[in-house]
A and B are shown apart, each in its own frame.
Chain A
Amino acid sequence: MTGKKVLIPLGAVIGLVLLAVLFFQVAGLHYFVLIILPYICGAIFFAGLIYRVIRWAQSPVPFHIPTVCGQEKSLPWIKQDKLGSPSNWLQVTGRMLMEIFLFRSLFRNSKVEHAPEARLVYGGNRWLWLGGLAFHVSLFIILFRHLRFFTEPVFAPVLWMSDLDGLLQLAIPTLFITDIIILIALIYLFTRRVVFAQVRFISLPSDYLALFLIMGVAISGVLMRSVFKVDLTYVKELAMSIIRFDPVVSGAIGLPFFIHIILACTLIAYFPFSKMMHAAGILFSPTRNLLNNSRMKRHINPWNHPVRVHTYAEYEDEFRNQMKKVGLPVETDETGSK
């Protein structure tokens, strides 16, 4: 069971690499891979993302369900936990920012262990938080660094970021610290899914597919940078021509780039249909973005339909005469009076 869950996505990614090799061999398909594919996948990404976001925005939040992790706003002499139990717009923004940039709820993950002498010991378990944060920060910096292929003259902060990332000045071309960190983090994120029995049980093929696709993109990118090189000038000319909507392939670009771009395009096109939509979904999390003010304001279920109710008073008005006739007790003697 577990084997299949891992091997099928792995096979899919290896299949994509082989497909890239095949496409590279057939000169007639170069235009498709280098130009048509990025446009198609980019269009799927943007259209899919907006579609998903609008679908989410159309779903009502039936209950007021903030996850409360601290003292809610109460009497003036009781100290409120402003981030754990936000009661106004500013506090909930703070909670969202901490969630988006620091993964605060993962940081709060704890673990209970049996210590000797049959004691229970509570402690933090922050490996997932660390691995997740290392992965996402590296991914952001790597994506940001890629702007050097899409801006001319290169956007200055991109150069500063690259200098900082290549601070070690090891090897030529310079080794980027984030390249190493993202690979280590990806290995950890994969390993925890296969090593820990509980995580293995709840892991789905789609979890592995996302991991393997990102791994494939990262590994092919790192190898393309430092071992199997391609002509970067042609790569940038291609990238620039794509974003100015006047696509041309100006020179021969090698196989490593074909592998990298086919994996990256697949990832981009798969994004709106995958768990990676958590990037937008985090903003729609009711447990994170709602105020804990249910004792101050009444939350009305937005899908409540105006219901036609028939109260007992109206019922009695309707059947009073019949009820009196058969001797049933009535609450009021006449319509509208007590």
Chain B
Amino acid sequence: MYDSGKVILGVAVFLCLASFPAWYNVITSKADYRPDPVIVVSDNQCIESTQYMREYHMQLLKEWRDDAVRNGKTIYTASDNKTYEINLTGTCLKCHSNKTEFCDTCHDFSGVSPNCWDCHNIPKSGK
């Protein structure tokens, strides 16, 4: 092998960088952390199925914002024909009342910082 010193050094640097997540998680010792959002249950189920809410809640919230703020629509009809008032504080926060223990657990985990709270007040219980 020619220039073996440089080549081995290069490969070693590459492997260190490429394995960054593996050793980073060892250092932080949080490799097996799993978020556990807390819900104060008053109904048995959210307005749509759990899986739908886990995957699409941000879209639903955006539709609610447009409906309530721009279209003046205040009633949401869920896919099981139940109706709910389109109201973040009155409807959503009734069960999901604590931002730190509910919203933030998954948002921090997946590294997203939605700009909801740029305008909305954080409920007192969740500050």
Whether A and B are associated in the same complex: the answer reads yes
Q: A122 to chain B: closest CB distance in Å?
A: 38
Query: Are A57's CB and B25's CB within 8 A?
Result: no
Query: Are B111's CB and A233's CB within 8 A?
Result: no
Query: Are B3's CB and A229's CB within 8 A?
Result: no
Q: Interface size class for chain B?
A: 35 or more
Query: Are B24's CB and A151's CB within 8 A?
Result: yes
Total interface residues in chain A, CB < 8 Å: 43
Which residues of A sit under 8 angstroms from B59, Cβ to Cβ?
Answer: 172, 229
Q: B60 to chain A: closest CB distance in Å?
A: 10
Q: B63 to chain A: closest CB distance in Å?
A: 10
Which residues of A sit under 8 angstroms from B111, Cβ to Cβ?
Answer: 148, 154, 158-159, 162
A117 close to B (CB within 8 Å): no
A210 close to B (CB within 8 Å): no
In the bound complex, how far is the Cα of B109 from the Cα of A241, in angstroms?
A: 14
Query: Are B54's CB and A233's CB within 8 A?
Result: yes
In the bound complex, how far is the Cα of B53 from the Cα of A229, in angstroms?
A: 11
Interface residues of A in 211-247 (CB under 8 A from B): 229-233, 236-237, 240-241, 243-244, 246
Query: Are A243's CB and B114's CB within 8 A?
Result: no
In the bound complex, how far is the Cα of B32 from the Cα of A237, in angstroms?
A: 8
Taking CB as reference atom, which chain B residue is nearest A159? B111
Interface residues of B in 84-116 (CB under 8 A from A): 106, 108-115
On whether A243 and B1 interact (CB within 8 A), knowing A153-B28, A154-B111, A162-B111, the answer reads: no
A-B contact pairs, 17 of them (CB 8 A): A54-B1, A57-B3, A61-B2, A149-B110, A152-B28, A152-B33, A152-B109, A153-B28, A158-B111, A173-B58, A230-B55, A231-B51, A231-B55, A232-B110, A233-B106, A243-B21, A244-B32
